Amino acid sequence: MNLLVLGGTSFLGPAIVESAPLAQTVRDTAQWMEKTRPDFDFGVKPGAPGITRAREAELIAAWKAHTKI
């Protein structure tokens, strides 16, 4: 089991925490994405970095509507 923890681990108490180096986690995730081709819509062409400005605006608007900002 690999666990990526950003911050402290004191909340886990006596539990054993195993972690993988970040590079390994990224590599494993990329391999999983390549192998399984999950059906995620990131709003861009496969392999393109980031999201479009239109998709960003859509996500921000949805977040603001949800959080009532």
Q: Is the Cβ–Cβ distance between 36 and 21 less than 8 Å?
A: no
Give per-residue pLDDT as tens, 5-35: 566 666 666 666 577 788 998 899 889 888 8
Contacting residues for 63 by C-beta, under 8 A, at least 6 apart: 69
| Shared-domain flag, residues 33 and 52 | no
| Shared-domain flag, residues 51 and 31 | no
State the average pLDDT over residues 27-45: 77
The total number of structural domains in the chain stands at 2
| Shared-domain flag, residues 7 and 34 | yes
Question: Residue ranges of the alpha helices (H) in the chain?
Answer: 22-36, 53-67
| Shared-domain flag, residues 46 and 58 | yes
Q: Tokens for 55?
A: 């998709």
Q: Which domain holds residue 45?
A: 41-69
Record the pTM: 0.34
Query: How many angstroms from the chain centroid is the CA of residue 3?
Result: 13
When the pLDDT of each residue in the chain is averaged and rounded to a whole number, the result is 75
| Shared-domain flag, residues 4 and 27 | yes
| Shared-domain flag, residues 56 and 25 | no
54 pLDDT more than 80: yes
